[in-house]
Homo-oligomer: A and B are copies of this chain.
Amino acid sequence: MHHLGRRSSDAIPEIRIGYIGGGSQGWAHTLINDLAQCTEIAGTVALYDVDYEAARKNAELGTQVTSRADADGDWTFDAVRDLSAALSGADIVICSIQDPPAETFVHDIDLPKQYGIHQPVADTVGPGGILRSMRAIPQYREIAATIREQCPDAWVLNYTNPMTVCTRTLYEEFPEIKAIGLCHEVFQTQELFADLATTHLDGVDAVDSDEIHVTVKGINHFTWIDEARWRGRDLYRFLDAELAARKPLADFDPGSMADASYWTNNYRVAFDLYDRFGCFPAAGDRHLVEFIPWYLELDDLEELHRWGIRFTPSEARLPADGPTPTERYLSGAETFELTESGEEAVDIIRALLGLEPLETHLNYPNQGQVANLPDGAIVETNALLTGDAVTPLTAGSLPRSIRSLVLTHVHNQETLVKAGFDGDLDRAFRVFLSDPVVTLEREAAESLFIELVEREREFLDAWDGENATILET
């Protein structure tokens, strides 16, 4: 038996966190917020960003917030000028990076759109996800190589998309790395089941979604659930009634979606996949439609609206004009309020320090947790986190039809990472062509790929354009 309760600890552990992408305007603020309220651990956060100024301002903000009276945590924030400095001696590494959207993300969305491919998110698979992967692989090789040199024993928490490819690249470059990939999508599905519990269980008024136990298996943004329980009571059986109640599924008034949030999720595609494949997918509809061709074959965007999904246009991907949130906090234009973020990074760090075990879902090399996906591929399943250890829980096998859909992407992602290490654009195009939403005529697919590569060339230095036969024509 291994006791799973909270440990009482004599001394407060002091750690060093290296934050890559430390100039961020979202995730960095959450970390500042959470550490300001964390008293069981103390230490230093080294913020590194290609935009040093942004990192510096976040360090200033972190310092300011931590010194406030309502902040109990004992943390120091420093901005550093190079990656090695950020990682030197780190116990924990956090990665959350992004290329300049105007020169990358915007093309990832707009060029495929011209060919009739409207990706709502464009960060994982499909043309946008493939280009993002191609840019990320060389960057993540460098990160992994620097970790090997500066802090080989550190735990690495990756938040960057494409999650699977980034995490896989870390392991390909440095097989002994201790890296996990973290994503929020499954939390939503826990909330859905919490709602089902209150609706369908007699005498139950409110259920905390983190008491919902779901068995997760698949790959990030295309992972599946075949068991859901609350305190030992089966919730999965309520899906059929819920499906019946929601039918017809594709009945949103297209016009009404014009004002919806870009990020709205109505589980209509999720329930449709459950209806057809008998297993429930655990990601938002916006992600799901990018893994299969059936929802993006659009004559007109309204067809997507009918599923309750809004296409996010490229302009929504650009940062707003004017001062950044950090700048607004520093100038006093806005007040940084301490909140309960719901983010679990600090819980994860506490678990890895041996303070309190945690079960969560995460992305990790397959060593049997999904029995019928390839070994070594990055899969998303539950894991138990204890002192210095991440142990995936076995999730069994995917049903054949779903496995087939998932395997296509696993093979593509594996091929893409190898292609990236070799700088082989021809092999990258093989993946592009084999992506399920690239339902283009052969030569159109080639043109789109070439256009994307040309437009984002400065971010694709590591790829060998010289010897690519695809670029010859």
List the interface of chain A (C-beta within 8 A of B). 1-7, 187, 208, 210-215, 227, 229-234, 248, 250, 272, 275-277, 293-295, 297-298, 303, 344, 347, 352-354, 357-360, 367-371, 375, 382, 384, 386-389, 391-394, 396-397, 400-401, 403-405, 407-408, 411-412, 414-415, 426-427, 429-431, 433-434, 436, 439-445, 469, 473
Contact = CB atoms under 8 A, between A and B. Distances in A.
Contacts of A386: 213, 229, 232
Identical chains bound together, number: 4
Given A7-B211, A441-B298, A1 B358 contact: yes
A358 B401 contact: no
Contacts of A248: 473
Contacts of A298: 441
Given A250-B443, A367-B394, 7 more contacts: A234-B388, A277-B430, A295-B442, A297-B441, A298-B441, A384-B384, A407-B407
A107 to B, nearest CB: 22
Contact of A405 (B4, B214, B370, B434): B434
Given A359-B2, A387-B213, A429-B276, A294 B440 contact: yes
B442 A430 contact: no
If over half of A's interface residues share one DSSP class (helix, strand or loop), that class is named, otherwise mixed; here it is mixed
Contacts of A234: 388
A382 B2 contact: yes
A4 B442 contact: no
Contacts of A358: 1, 4
A212 B230 CA distance: 29
Contact of A415 (B391, B401, B433): B401
Given A229-B386, A297-B440, A393-B384, A1 B359 contact: yes
3 shortest A-B CB distances, which residue pairs? A232-B387, A368-B368, A232-B354
Contacts of A431: 401
A110 B6 CA distance: 50
Contacts of A250: 442-443
Between A1, A375, A430, the greatest number of chain B beta carbons within 10 A of the residue's beta carbon is seen for: A1
A1 B210 contact: yes
A387 B233 contact: yes
Nearest to A429: B276
Between A208, A367, A429, the greatest number of chain B beta carbons within 10 A of the residue's beta carbon is seen for: A367
A1 B392 contact: no
A91 to B, nearest CB: 11
B401 A430 contact: yes
A389 B414 CA distance: 31
Contacts of A392: 393-394
